[in-house]
Amino acid sequence: MVQSMTGYGALKAEVQGMRISVEIKSLNSKYLELNLKLPRQYGHKELFIRNECSKLIERGKATITIITEPIETALVSSLNFNEPLITAYYRSLERIAIELGADRSELLKLALSMPEATGGETSQSSEEEWEATWNVFLEAIELFHQYRINEGAVLEKDLRLRVDNIKSLLEKVEEAEPHRIPLIRERLDGLMKEFIGGENIDQNRFEQELLYYIDKLDITEEKVRLRSHCDYFLSVLDDTQSNGKKLGFISQEMGREINTLGSKAYDASIQQYVVQMKEELEKIKEQVLNLV
């Protein structure tokens, strides 16, 4: 089962007198890149969240946003006015407004918006409040994972199709291969007669050199390894854990065998099949980059 690196999960809940909102979204990235947007009272939990996300998200450029706010019924009790500081803000603003001849009708509102004027969010949350928020986060992660699984299922279907196409093309290569050696022999024989004359050819030596040459062009190993890599790729797709990195490594090995097969082909039809294999492999590599 594979998972896409693209994911999204969002959840809102009302618990512990708070309205909690969690949003998790991710895009492709070679490693885990985590961007956290947390309420001020959860600043001391950032390291914990990062450590947990390294296990829960694994890979991708992920943005996690957590917003908490008191529900209206609990809003009054959650506000802590810093009256001396607000008074100092107001008097300073009033003095400046008088000197400048500016409007003073909004000074209290401005004073209340100044740093540390109110403590609607305490400097550190209670354990009960944090536990409630973390539970909402874990539920959002489940939605996020389900999104990744659904996206991964679409990618897996396409990957299986591409690998099956390569295996089908490999069968066509095997069908064309019996005609390849006689053509190579005929071509070499014609070249020898053209350049040195048929009467000057040592037939025994020619046969020895031909066998050596044909042995160098043998593609049996490449076919066996390519089929093995294709089967291994499909078996990794069947794993319970998503492993995009391993699939990427296997696709590289598939590419090596396809390239070698093409360089040894010396046959127009086989070369055409090799080109089609390369096209399928490029699509595989593009899709593998999207996997966790």
What letter represents residue 116's amino acid? E
Asked if 46 and 104 sit in the same domain, the reply is: no
| pLDDT tens-digit readout, 118-133 | 654 445 567 888 999 9
Range of the domain at 89: 81-112
Cα 104–105–109 angle (5° rounding)? 105
CA distance 155 to 2: 8
Mutual angle of helices 127-176 and 268-288, in 10-degree steps: 180
| pLDDT tens-digit readout, 135-155 | 999 999 999 999 999 999 999
Asked if 156 and 247 sit in the same domain, the reply is: yes
Asked if 140 and 156 sit in the same domain, the reply is: no
Asked if 174 and 213 sit in the same domain, the reply is: yes
Asked if 222 and 238 sit in the same domain, the reply is: yes
What letter represents residue 179's amino acid? H
| pLDDT tens-digit readout, 20-59 | 999 999 999 989 999 999 988 888 899 999 999 999 999 9
Cα 54–60–65 angle (5° rounding)? 75
In a domain, 118, yes or no: no
Dig out the tokens for 193 from the structure.
Answer: 């007669």
Asked if 156 and 143 sit in the same domain, the reply is: no
Our count of domains for the chain comes to 3
Query: Which pTM value belongs to this model?
Result: 0.74
In a domain, 71, yes or no: yes
Asked if 142 and 175 sit in the same domain, the reply is: no
Asked if 57 and 103 sit in the same domain, the reply is: no
In a domain, 54, yes or no: yes
The pLDDT, as a whole number, for residue 286 is: 95
**Confidence class for position 181, pLDDT limits 50, 70, 90:** confident
Which range (90-104, 212-226, 269-283) has the least confidence?
212-226
Label residues 274-283 b or e (16+ Cβ within 10 Å = b): beebbebbee
Asked if 214 and 93 sit in the same domain, the reply is: no
In a domain, 2, yes or no: no
**H-type helices in the chain, by residue range?**
46-56, 72-78, 83-100, 107-112, 127-176, 180-196, 203-216, 220-237, 244-265, 268-288
In a domain, 136, yes or no: yes
- What is the SS3 assignment for 237? helix
With a CB cutoff of 8 Å and minimum separation 6, the contacts of 196 are: none
| pLDDT tens-digit readout, 66-95 | 998 877 644 445 556 778 888 888 899 899
Mean pLDDT across 201-210 = 70
CA distance 165 to 125: 57
Question: What mean pLDDT, rounded, does the chain reach?
Answer: 87
Asked if 170 and 217 sit in the same domain, the reply is: yes
In a domain, 196, yes or no: yes
Asked if 173 and 134 sit in the same domain, the reply is: no
Mean pLDDT across 170-182 = 86
Asked if 17 and 143 sit in the same domain, the reply is: yes
